[in-house]
């Protein structure tokens, strides 16, 4: 496959900027690794090092109660040369992951699923960005660069989510299932993306095998794919069981932590403060409510936006970036990368400038307030929590506003005479 | 949502379109007036001690009698050490401490900044509190030389005397550390860095002797010579690095002990005479803001504050009838109060402006003024964003020329509101596409460009700082016209480009300033004030042409205004302002720059980051916009 020149320039400059920052500011990655906005208890690179140390010394990595990441990451990172002496290998790995993610994103953009799916073609389809611009918007997003420098393991989840979406949009069933199994295995929550991705894949297959072939019925499709996903995840779990010395103790330390939230380290999300304040007797109930709330969007959105499954995936990524137990700015950067596919609906969004400004404000005030709370000691936890509220509010308004824009786009196909007119909710 | 929608609909109201500049100006004016009324009785408050455990001035002080003779003896000894080397001096001082029965250690530091070597040696002793478990400690500091590089003879002698005196008491429930720092800024910094293991071992030696978490620090600056000097008042210095302040309770304790218990007057911010008038209160507050805004080390205590150790310096000033014994009793009483603390000082304010020893305003009262100044930029930025999306041609006034002859019928939209119906050309309701790429790239590039002067000024030798300053001032003043020229040769910038350029720059400025206001109020306010004209620069861009090209005389007046704005901005550049302020206060620019460089390398000062990465880029983009307006070659 010939790589065209624009792509080569994009990859080259993106890799150069990352490796430049890694080498010229050697203390920057460690500084960012400690930032709560980027590293959460379930993705932190520092905790990964801790787990790795235990693993290479033949102690169960989950013994200390510090490491909450998937076991398969350990052999991968133990293959890399020692971080202290040769940090370059790790840096190259993380840069490569970002580039692969961008590559998948660009392939996704080339499928054109964002503007014309099986049942719906947007009247604004000419307004999209080129694949290279979408890749650039991901690679040069400051959030992505900061995430890459801080080296959390969430980049692997992001890579597999993007890969799964791309493969689903291309109709490549098996790769999609494998990528999604990896993503779900690493972080659990991506399993919620299965329904919209399945619709996306099914639609794509159906439109590829036009009439000549008999496309499989929805029910067979669902059954085969659910079982394939289960088999994929099961295989990965069994491999982990094998790797951690035939013990299932990694399950409570990884997925248990995601589900039960024992670690209340601050992050940009909404859970930690809420569960710090809560009486223990209500804990289980509200854990259920919070998870149910996050999961409940899947069904509703998949039904309502049946015609645009890729947008369901995008919106869900936005919702995960807000309502996950341990969100970080790397989730936000993935959401913005997917939102860039929907360039054509941005003119229909009503508050884009205000919301982007609010997010920018929050991303500067957040570290300032965290500094006042933790280092200067002149503030308290409420300072930081207030800013994470603003951040989440801004992000969820962007999700809502983009949803409005997409619905409006659909509506204008049905009722062309309403184009450009004020819509009012009754 | 409907309310928001209605508010958004306001953007089509011609009155709302004219309002933002006035609103911005109003914000700035209200912000400044807000600050000016703070010294009034109605808006400031009497200070009070919040932490009940402190009980300032409630103990009887016993420092006196024969201690006076010991103090005089130490003063003679200190005088004899005046011309010795660091090594000999600290050895002798360590010996004094050892004779008192304290554990002693020494520490060497060697910083390099602005091509200068800052070296010295600290010596300190730890008194293990008889009732303490070595988990907490308070520090008594006497720097060998004070901020004016004068030998702190009586101050050091007092620390030695206090060490001997405190050792005899059995009531200490915290360890007491006596620190005699090599100088007033680098020495305490090296010590406190090493105490918290945050030092770089190449420049600062690690400490061999440590105690518990530091709860507070008091520095004594009493440069009286061998024959003593009776002072009039205590000058209390309380601001730390980067404008962080110590807890107000510590300051209040010092004031209440000195004036209430000992009858020593207290003053602050070099206001030697303070008659509690409005002007003097205001002046004190403004001086405090300037000192906080610069964020420099104002005394030996400053380095402690970033480590969340509340610290103040007591400096003796004037000629009066207070002697070393009353200062000693003040220190004793302060340590008795700190000894009572059950937890870290946290009750009282960390953000305050003092206008007199017993009057202050807290953050809730003063923060709105800086926030209003910051908000003015955001308002302008939002207005510019809305303006940039407006159609290229403004609504034609008068009767529209008939277009039917070409068969083109203008799109009209029927608007119904409050029972009235109007026909409006559709294009005025639509939002034009914005070309974001060029303005965004330029704004980002300029912000990164600020890294170059930041690096250069922090790494230039003192001898060449003046020439560097001259060169960078010249470059800074020439670069905006050059880049506007570059812009015009590259491709004629559209009006939208320039509007968006201003919009993004002001958005960033407003955002940075409001974040900064929470960390260092004074710096944010001062920078906000110096950049306030930037939110009006866009007014000199010709708004929009009325379809047909206007007569050239119409464009002349705005262009003259633009040229005036260009010169005004040149006068307000960070570099020219620095020079002007330095000249007005009779300080050489080199001194300022050296202090900044030393601050960067020794103390971790951020002020120059704010100047170069926030103020300078904002000013730069404002100037480019003004130049583009002045050359007047904008496309629609």
A223 within a domain of the structure (yes/no): yes
B493 and B374 within one domain: yes
Please indicate whether residue B580 or residue B538 has the higher confidence score (pLDDT). B580
- Residue contact B351–A378, C-beta within 8 A: yes
Query: CA B288 to CA B22: how far, in whole Å?
Result: 31
The pLDDT assigned to B394 comes to: 44
The pLDDT assigned to B392 comes to: 59
Pairing of strands B352-356, B359-362: antiparallel
A195 within a domain of the structure (yes/no): yes
A212 within a domain of the structure (yes/no): yes
B418 within a domain of the structure (yes/no): no
Interchain contact B431–A (C-beta under 8 A): yes
Q: How far is B353 from chain A (nearest CA, A)?
A: 15
Structure confidence by residue, pLDDT tens digits, B303-350:
999 999 999 999 999 999 999 999 999 999 999 999 999 999 988 999
B200 and B141 within one domain: yes
Task: Count CB neighbours of B172 within 10 A.
Answer: 19
The parent domain of residue B202 ranges over: 52-357
Q: DSSP string of B250-315?
A: HHHHHHIIIIIIS--EEE-TT-S-----HHHHHHHHHHHHHHHHHT---STTGGGGGGT--EEEEE
Q: Partners of A335 in the beta sheet?
A: none
Structure confidence by residue, pLDDT tens digits, A66-78:
999 999 999 999 9
- Residue contact B308–A422, C-beta within 8 A: no
Q: A349 φ, ψ to 5°? A: -75, 145
For A212-216, B189-193, B559-563, which range has the lowest pLDDT when averaged over its residues?
A: A212-216
The pLDDT assigned to B529 comes to: 95
B456 and B564 within one domain: yes
High-pLDDT (> 70) share of chain A, %: 96
Tell me what the mean pLDDT of segment B95-112 comes to. Answer: 95
Closest by CA position to B319, among listed B221, B218, B228, B251: B228
A421 within a domain of the structure (yes/no): no
B352 and B467 within one domain: no
Give the closest of B1, B5, B518 to A368, CB-based.
Answer: B518
The pLDDT assigned to B561 comes to: 82
Q: Give the orientation angle of helix A381-414 with respect to helix A352-370, to 10 degrees.
A: 160
CB–CB of A193/A164 below 8 Å? yes
Helix (H) / strand (E) element for A10: namely helix A5-24
How far CA A331 is from CA of A21, A271, A343, in Å, comes to 22, 16, 19
The parent domain of residue A196 ranges over: 2-414
B325 and B386 within one domain: no
B110 within a domain of the structure (yes/no): yes
Q: Partners of B112 in the beta sheet?
A: B117
> Domain boundary at B337, B357, B377, which?
B357
Q: Does position B492 have pLDDT exceeding 90, yes or no?
A: no
Query: CA A169 to CA A164: how far, in whole Å?
Result: 8
The two structure tokens encoding residue B171: 């009531």
Burial class (CB in 10 A: 0-12, 13-18, 19+), A161: buried
B524 and B554 within one domain: yes
- Residue contact B515–A365, C-beta within 8 A: yes
Interface probe, candidates B3, B4, B5, B517, chain A, greatest A C-beta count within 10 A: B5
Average pLDDT of chain B to the nearest whole number: 88
B219 and B159 within one domain: yes
Interchain contact A390–B (C-beta under 8 A): no
The pLDDT assigned to B605 comes to: 94
DSSP letter assigned to residue A127: G
Interface probe, candidates A129, A361, A366, A383, chain B, greatest B C-beta count within 10 A: A361
Please indicate whether residue B630 or residue A25 has the higher confidence score (pLDDT). A25
Burial class (CB in 10 A: 0-12, 13-18, 19+), B15: exposed
B297 and B269 within one domain: yes
Q: How far is A365 from chain B (nearest CA, A)?
A: 5
The pLDDT assigned to B409 comes to: 47
For A211-220, B169-178, B625-634, which range has the lowest pLDDT when averaged over its residues?
A: A211-220
A348 within a domain of the structure (yes/no): yes
Give the chain A residue whose CA is nearest to the CA of B347.
A378
The pLDDT assigned to B361 comes to: 95
High-pLDDT (> 90) share of chain A, %: 74
Domains held by chain B: number: 2
3-class DSSP state for residue B320?
strand
Q: Does position A412 have pLDDT exceeding 90, yes or no?
A: no
CATH number at residue B173: 3.40.630.10
Q: How far is B354 from chain A (nearest CA, A)?
A: 17
B377 and B263 within one domain: no
Give the closest of B350, B413, B515 to A364, CB-based.
Answer: B515
Interchain contact A360–B (C-beta under 8 A): yes
Interface probe, candidates A24, A378, A386, A424, chain B, greatest B C-beta count within 10 A: A378
Average pLDDT of chain A to the nearest whole number: 91
Structure confidence by residue, pLDDT tens digits, A151-174:
999 999 999 999 999 999 999 999
B397 within a domain of the structure (yes/no): no
Q: Does position B550 have pLDDT exceeding 60, yes or no?
A: no
Interface probe, candidates A357, A360, A362, A404, chain B, greatest B C-beta count within 10 A: A357
Tell me what the mean pLDDT of segment A327-351 comes to. Answer: 93
List CB contacts (< 8 A) between A420 and chain B: 413, 426, 429-430
Q: Does position A323 have pLDDT exceeding 90, yes or no?
A: yes
Q: DSSP string of B607-624?
A: HHHHIIIIIHHHHHHHHH
- Residue contact A378–B350, C-beta within 8 A: yes
B-proximal residues of A, 264-283, CB under 8 Å: none
Query: CA A332 to CA A324: how far, in whole Å?
Result: 11
Query: CA A249 to CA B338: how far, in whole Å?
Result: 50
B264 and B214 within one domain: yes
Report residue B497's pLDDT band, with 50, 70 and 90 as the boundaries. Answer: confident
Query: CA A73 to CA A145: how far, in whole Å?
Result: 21
Q: Does position A420 have pLDDT exceeding 80, yes or no?
A: no
Half-sphere exposure of B159 (CA within 13 A, CB side): 34
Closest by CA position to B291, among listed B249, B254, B360, B245: B245
The pLDDT assigned to B406 comes to: 43
Q: Does position A3 have pLDDT exceeding 80, yes or no?
A: no
Give the chain A residue whose CA is nearest to the CA of B374.
A361
B461 and B352 within one domain: no
Q: Does position B481 have pLDDT exceeding 80, yes or no?
A: yes
A-proximal residues of B, 373-392, CB under 8 Å: 378, 381-382, 385
List CB contacts (< 8 A) between B382 and chain A: 353-354, 357
Give the chain B residue whose CA is nearest to the CA of A426.
B2
Q: Does position A244 have pLDDT exceeding 50, yes or no?
A: yes
B339 and B387 within one domain: no
A239 within a domain of the structure (yes/no): yes
Query: CA A138 to CA A106: how far, in whole Å?
Result: 10
Q: Does position B12 have pLDDT exceeding 90, yes or no?
A: no
Give the closest of B306, B381, B518 to A369, CB-based.
Answer: B518
B151 within a domain of the structure (yes/no): yes
CB–CB of B176/B127 below 8 Å? yes
Q: Partners of B214 in the beta sheet?
A: B137
Task: Tell me the Cα Rg of chain A.
Answer: 22
Task: Tell me the Cα Rg of chain B.
Answer: 30
Edge to edge, the sheet with strand B311-322 lists B103-113, B116-127, B175-180, B136-141, B213-221, B311-322, B231-237, B265-267
The pLDDT assigned to B411 comes to: 56
Domains held by chain A: number: 1
Query: CA A370 to CA A380: how far, in whole Å?
Result: 8
- Residue contact A361–B4, C-beta within 8 A: no
Structure confidence by residue, pLDDT tens digits, B591-615:
999 999 999 999 999 999 999 999 9
Q: Does position B32 have pLDDT exceeding 90, yes or no?
A: yes
Report residue B413's pLDDT band, with 50, 70 and 90 as the boundaries. Answer: low
Query: CA B82 to CA B437: how far, in whole Å?
Result: 65
- Residue contact B519–A371, C-beta within 8 A: yes
3-class DSSP state for residue B408?
coil
The pLDDT assigned to B415 comes to: 54
Please indicate whether residue B392 or residue A124 has the higher confidence score (pLDDT). A124
Q: How many CB pairs under 8 A join A and B?
A: 58
Give the chain B residue whose CA is nearest to the CA of A133.
B437
Structure confidence by residue, pLDDT tens digits, B425-444:
555 555 667 788 889 999 99
Number of H helices, E strands in chain A: 18, 0
């Amino acid at each position: 496959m010939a790589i065209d020149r624009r792509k080569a320039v994009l990859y080259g400059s993106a890799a150069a900027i990352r490796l430049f920052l890694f080498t010229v500011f050697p203390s920057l990655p460690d500084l960012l690794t400690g930032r709560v906005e980027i590293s959460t208890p379930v993705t932190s690179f520092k905790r990964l090092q801790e787990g790795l140390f235990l693993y290479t010394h033949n102690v169960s990595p989950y013994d200390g109660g510090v490491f909450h990441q998937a076991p398969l990451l350990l052999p991968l990172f133990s293959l890399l040369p020692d971080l202290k002496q040769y940090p370059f290998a790790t840096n190259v790995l993380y840069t490569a992951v970002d580039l692969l993610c961008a590559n998948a994103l660009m392939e996704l953009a080339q499928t054109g699923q964002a503007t014309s799916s099986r049942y719906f073609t947007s009247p604004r389809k000419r307004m999209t960005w080129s694949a290279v611009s979408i890749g650039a918007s991901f690679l040069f997003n400051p959030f992505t660069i900061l995430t890459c420098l801080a080296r959390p393991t969430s980049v692997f989840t992001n890579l597999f989510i993007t890969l799964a979406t791309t493969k689903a949009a291309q109709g490549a069933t098996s790769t999609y299932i494998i990528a999604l199994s990896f993503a779900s295995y690493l972080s659990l929550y991506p399993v919620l993306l299965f329904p919209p991705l399945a619709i996306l894949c099914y639609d794509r297959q159906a439109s590829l095998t036009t009439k000549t072939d008999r496309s499989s019925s929805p029910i067979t499709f669902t059954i085969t794919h659910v079982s394939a996903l289960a088999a994929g995840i099961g295989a990965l779990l069994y491999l982990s069981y094998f790797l951690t010395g035939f013990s299932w103790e990694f399950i409570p330390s990884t997925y248990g932590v995601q589900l039960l939230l024992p670690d209340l380290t601050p992050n940009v999300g909404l859970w930690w403060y809420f569960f710090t304040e809560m009486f223990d007797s209500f804990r289980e109930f509200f854990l259920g409510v919070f998870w149910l709330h996050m999961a409940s969007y899947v069904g509703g959105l998949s039904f309502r936006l049946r015609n645009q499954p890729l947008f369901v995936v995008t919106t869900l990524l936005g919702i995960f970036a807000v309502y996950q137990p341990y969100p970080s700015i790397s989730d936000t950067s993935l959401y913005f990368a997917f939102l860039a596919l929907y360039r054509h609906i941005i003119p229909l969004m009503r508050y884009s400038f205000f919301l982007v400004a609010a997010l920018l404000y929050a991303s500067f005030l957040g570290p300032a307030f965290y500094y006042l709370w933790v280092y200067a000691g002149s503030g308290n936890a409420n300072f930081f929590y207030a800013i994470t509220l603003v951040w989440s509010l801004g992000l969820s308004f962007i999700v809502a506003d983009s949803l409005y824009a997409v619905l409006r786009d659909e509506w204008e196909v049905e009722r062309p005479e309403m184009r450009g007119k004020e819509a009012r909710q009754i | 949502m409907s309310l928001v929608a209605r508010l958004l609909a306001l953007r089509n109201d011609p009155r709302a379109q004219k309002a933002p500049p006035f609103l911005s100006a109003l914000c700035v004016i209200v912000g400044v007036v807000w600050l000016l009324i703070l010294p009034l009785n109605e808006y400031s408050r009497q200070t009070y001690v919040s932490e009940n455990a402190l009980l300032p001035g409630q103990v009887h002080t016993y420092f006196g009698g024969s201690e006076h003779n010991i103090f005089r003896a130490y003063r003679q000894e200190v005088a004899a050490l005046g011309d010795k080397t660091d090594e000999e001096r600290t050895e002798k001082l360590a010996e004094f401490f050892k004779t008192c029965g304290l554990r002693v250690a020494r520490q060497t530091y060697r910083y390099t900044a602005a091509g200068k070597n800052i070296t010295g040696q600290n010596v300190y002793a730890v008194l293990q509190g008889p009732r303490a478990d070595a988990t907490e400690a308070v520090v008594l500091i006497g720097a060998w030389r004070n901020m004016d590089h004068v030998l702190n003879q009586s101050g050091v002698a007092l620390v030695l005397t206090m060490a001997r005196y405190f050792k005899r008491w059995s009531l200490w429930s915290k360890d007491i550390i006596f620190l005699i720092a090599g100088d007033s800024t680098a020495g305490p910094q090296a010590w406190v860095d090493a105490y918290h293991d945050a030092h770089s071992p190449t420049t600062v030696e690690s400490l061999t002797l440590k105690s518990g978490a530091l709860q507070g620090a008091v520095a004594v600056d009493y440069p009286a010579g061998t024959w003593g000097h009776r002072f009039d008042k205590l000058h209390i210095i309380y601001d730390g690095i980067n404008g962080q302040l110590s807890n107000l309770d510590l300051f209040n304790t010092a004031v209440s002990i000195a004036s209430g218990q000992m009858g020593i007057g207290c003053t602050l911010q070099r206001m030697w005479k303070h008659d509690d008038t409005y002007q003097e209160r205001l002046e004190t507050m403004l001086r405090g803001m300037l000192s906080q805004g610069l964020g420099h080390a104002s005394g030996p205590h400053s380095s402690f504050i970033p480590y969340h150790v509340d610290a103040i310096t007591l400096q003796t000033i004037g000629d009066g009838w207070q002697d070393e014994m009353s200062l000693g009793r003040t220190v004793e009483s302060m340590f008795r109060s700190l000894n009572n603390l059950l937890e870290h000082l946290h009750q009282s304010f960390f953000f305050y402006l003092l206008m007199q020893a017993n009057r202050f305003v807290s953050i809730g009262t003063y923060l709105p003024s800086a926030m209003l100044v910051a908000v003015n930029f955001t308002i302008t930025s939002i207005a510019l964003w809305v303006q940039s999306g407006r159609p290229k041609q403004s609504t034609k006034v008068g009767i529209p020329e008939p277009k039917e002859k070409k068969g083109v019928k203008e799109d009209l939209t029927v608007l119904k509101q409050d029972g009235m119906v109007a026909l409006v050309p559709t294009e005025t309701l639509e939002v034009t596409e914005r070309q974001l790429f060029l303005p965004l790239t330029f704004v980002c590039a300029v912000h990164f460009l600020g890294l170059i002067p930041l690096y250069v000024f922090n790494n230039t030798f003192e001898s060449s700082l003046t020439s560097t300053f001259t060169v960078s001032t010249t470059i800074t003043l020439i670069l905006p016209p050059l880049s506007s020229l570059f812009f015009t040769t590259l491709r004629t910038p559209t009006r939208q480009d320039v509007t968006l350029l201003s919009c993004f720059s002001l958005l960033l400025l407003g955002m940075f300033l409001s974040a900064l206001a929470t960390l260092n109020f004074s710096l944010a306010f001062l920078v906000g004030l110096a950049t306030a004209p930037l939110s009006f620069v866009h007014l000199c861009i010709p708004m929009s042409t009325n379809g047909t090209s206007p007569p050239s005389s119409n464009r002349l007046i705005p262009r003259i205004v633009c040229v005036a704005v260009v010169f005004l901005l040149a006068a307000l550049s960070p570099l020219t302002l620095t020079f002007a302020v330095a000249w007005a206060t009779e300080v050489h620019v080199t001194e300022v720059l050296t202090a900044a460089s030393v601050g960067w390398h020794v103390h971790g000062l951020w002020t120059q980051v704010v100047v170069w990465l926030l103020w300078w880029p904002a000013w730069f983009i404002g100037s480019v916009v003004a130049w583009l307006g002045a050359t007047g070659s904008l496309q629609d």
